[in-house]
Amino acid sequence: MPAMAIPPAVVSAARAGWHWQWLQLMQGLGPADRDGNYRRPASAFSALPPLPANAADAESHVLIVGRSCPWAHRAWLVWALRQLQQSIRLLIVEPDPQAGRWRFRTPFLGCNTLQELYRRSGADANQRATVPVLVEAASGRVVLGESARLIELLNQWPMADPAHDLVPKALIPEIMRWRELLQGAVNDGVYRCGFARNQAAYDRAESELFAALDQAETALASTGAGPWLCGEQITLADVQLFPTLIRLELVYAPLFGVSRRPLWQLPALWQWRQRFYGLPGVADTCCDQAWREDYFGALFPLHPSGIVPAGPALATLVQAPPPP
């Protein structure tokens, strides 16, 4: 029996009703301003503290990360690149999509969820508990929970080999220039595309995103430049860019609509990503299956079906780029 045609009035009413519901759900997922531009909420525990007196002590602190979170990924990368395993223990939390929160695999300091740990450290009851978080092991006190500041603190952390400085003094102005550009246009830019409330907001964010990537491509492709954004030494600028670019084809392009140009059309950036992935410890921080399951499975307003689509294998994204 052939399917019955749905009257146009019913289709129109359904579209209007779904759009209204979508706006309500999106406001819970990520707030926006009057023009429909996504605005990331402020993080709790965001003030950069002085280096803890017991920083060099064995397992004096715990770094809490989630595998799918790009903001946690940058902290995880600094922890790995600077080989801070002796003084900072890594703890991975799991997402709870139904409750919309992070939970511990086994209780941590008497807490079952990250939200409980936040409350115990004095966070406001309405404050979302996010990763990454640095915690003092003995007291259970949250030291810092804002990723941009946390990677700065981790770069100050004492270590056996001080050569792994990701913010060399001579490069500070250049590093800060790149970090400021990347934070707004790229790291947050993909979310401003995906969480835009209207076409104009999306267009603004998408244009800024690819303009920033073009700047990075030009800088890396320039004669005598590289192999890193600030020259011959890897810095926090590179760390800040990698979590976004390694997720680009896997989640951001299909889910957030940032597919104007595949990265292989930016060959210097593709090679930069390949080079970064090959650094010691970096591959262990990349959990592509968890990324896809968490993004497609948890962001209901953007992907109501919850179906996790097939995507490219991570290995194909860190090999030589295809020919033009």
Tell me the pTM.
0.94
Q: In this predicted structure, what is the pLDDT of residue 28?
A: 81
Low-confidence stretches of the chain (pLDDT beneath 70): 1-4, 160-163, 321-324
DSSP conformation class of 228? B
Per-residue pLDDT reduced to its tens digit, 101-110: 999 999 999 9
Per-residue pLDDT reduced to its tens digit, 64-104: 999 999 999 999 999 999 999 999 999 999 999 887 899 99
Separation CA 109–CA 123 (nearest Å): 16
Q: In this predicted structure, what is the pLDDT of residue 324?
A: 61
Q: In this predicted structure, what is the pLDDT of residue 44?
A: 83
Give me the residue label for tokens 């508990």: 129
Q: In this predicted structure, what is the pLDDT of residue 1?
A: 52
In DSSP notation, 15-75 reads HHHHHHHHHHHHHHHS-B-TTS-B-PPPPSS-S-PPPPTTTTSTT-EEEEEETT-HHHHHH
CA-CA-CA-CA torsion sign (29, 33, 37, 41): negative
Domains annotated on the chain, with CATH: 61-156 (3.40.30.10), 169-317 (1.20.1050.10)
Q: In this predicted structure, what is the pLDDT of residue 20?
A: 83
254, 256, 261, 262 alpha-carbon torsion, rounded to 10°: -40
Q: In this predicted structure, what is the pLDDT of residue 322?
A: 62
Q: In this predicted structure, what is the pLDDT of residue 55?
A: 97
